[in-house]
Amino acid sequence: MLMHPVQQFHFLLEIARVLASSLDLKDVFQRILQSAVEILHGQIGLLALRARRGHLQVVAAYGLPPTLLPRFRPLLEDIPYSRTEEGWSISRQDILSRLHLVAEATGLSLRQVVAIPLTIEDEFLGLLYIFRTSERPFTVEEEYLLRTFADLAAIAVRNARLYTALQLERNRLRAIIDNSADGIMILDAECRVEVINRTLSRMTGWPVEKARGKPGHAVLHLENASEPDPCVQMEKGIPFKEQIYREGDIVRPSKPRITVGVTYTPVFDEAGELQYIIVNVNDITRFREAEEMKSTFISVISHELKTPVALIKGYAATLRREDVQWDMDTIREGLQIIEEEADRLTHLIDNLLDASRIQAGGLKLEFEEVDLKEVIKRVVDGFQVQTAAHQIVIDVPDDLPPVWADRERIRQVLDNLLSNAIKYSPEGGVIRVGAWANTHEVTVYVADQGIGIPEEEQPYLFERFYRVDTSLRRKTKGAGLGLFLAKALVEAHGGRIWVHSKPGEGSTFFFTLPIAGAPRENDRPSP
């Protein structure tokens, strides 16, 4: 006899409460199965869901020792369910024949069974079994009631799927945000930080946890901004209605300035109320530097080219005047200046070509054993006759081993370093060029007693077109390519280049070259 309707309602209400409050699917299934068995006056119950391979897997059992579950296999494998116009159906006769096999295998007195399919939107999910040890068969009313429990179990499966899908989507979104190369921040309708990813945390210096709940304009504060901060504008009562793009600088103490482009995208609900703001932050420092470098290149090159061209044209025009008869000394002086300026143009063009080859990866070196002492002597002799204010001293041991290098390229490096040493030592003094050797490499240095280099500018010395910002720089010629080329050439040999300098105390540039016959850096055994 069926349980009183009031009791049935109580059971169903309790299960509905569990469905609404619990995410523990196993507990929900157990409650549903227990209630179904008790209401239908059964003794044993099983709830089995279809696994990926098609067979059924028990997810909840009632009134049955776990050790006996494997013996219910006939009711879990190759079940002949089919789809009809009314839904999914199970062959009752087939289930009863399988019941006898299970009864023999378990030793249980199983007399009756009812199997109700679990379905969601016409998808077969599994079966709900209720067993009786008595001969009393299940009535149509009992089967109808059991379908209610099966529907509740199906709802639980759907809820679990939705929750799992939601968690997967949240995890996927969190992974995308956290691992994005761009900075991402999500603000609530009050412009307070809800989400900030690791990239933006590194940019701003704000730890992720400390940033949450803080005003967006405090976490992402821009200097030299191209547009007002929309969050600050909202505080002033100016509504935020459409996407806004602004650029500016993130400035942190003792950290390099970062130039960023920031896009603020408002998201509204159906009623037009602001829900949250998505903030994308792109690091455009390199782009801005490239623009500045392009501008610098045009400025420097135009200046460096115009001066010698103007001198060449001026002296050539003067010498070819037909109304003046020039003496030989004047002609020689004019021709000498034309030659010097032509050499200067050639040197500048060669440097530009070398810089272009380096950028394109097309720089080629002709390696051989090079007597570095002989190269240093030739370079020094060439410069010593050009200056009377400087004494250039060579400090190279006689037993310095030969290096594996491109002779002309190393001479080019020494030319650039010595030229700078003379140029930035306007008061003259001693310039020392020396070298020493260790196991694998030779270290070369060029030391002057000039104006020195401020510490904050030293990291940028070897960049293209960079020149130290001094009054002397503005009086001296140069395109800012010498040290860039020197660094590229030294590194192409597998060496390193660096500087030690203090303002007012001069500068010493060092670079290394591999000893001929010594193992290269990549060939050396690991320590």
CB burial class (10 A; 0-12, 13-18, 19+) of residue 15? buried
Distance CA 218, CA 204 (A): 10
DSSP-assigned beta bridge partners for residue 87: 84
**What's residue 185's pLDDT?**
94
Q: What is the pLDDT of residue 14?
A: 62
Amino acid at 508: T
pTM: 0.48
CB count within 10 Å of CB 397 equals: 11
Q: Which of 426, 521, 434, 433 minimizes the C-alpha distance to 476?
A: 426
| pLDDT at residue 525, as a whole number | 38
Residues 511 and 486: beta-carbon distance below 8 Å = yes
- Contact (Cβ atoms closer than 8 angstroms) between residue 262 and residue 283: no
Torsion, Cα of 457, 462, 465, 469 (10° steps): 20
> Tens digits of per-residue pLDDT, 202-230?
999 999 999 999 999 999 999 999 999 99
pLDDT score recorded for residue 371: 95
Report the pLDDT value the prediction gives residue 359, as an integer from 0 to 100.
58
With residues binned 3-state (H G I as helix, E B as strand, rest as coil), the percentages for the chain, rounded to 5, are 45, 25, 30
Average pLDDT over the chain reads 83
The segments of the chain whose pLDDT lies below 70 read 1-23, 84-87, 289-290, 292-305, 307, 347-348, 351-352, 354-362, 464-480, 519-527
Separation between Cα atoms, residue 380 and residue 311, nearest integer Å: 28
Distances (CA, A) of 447 to 268, 326, 336, 391: 65, 44, 31, 12
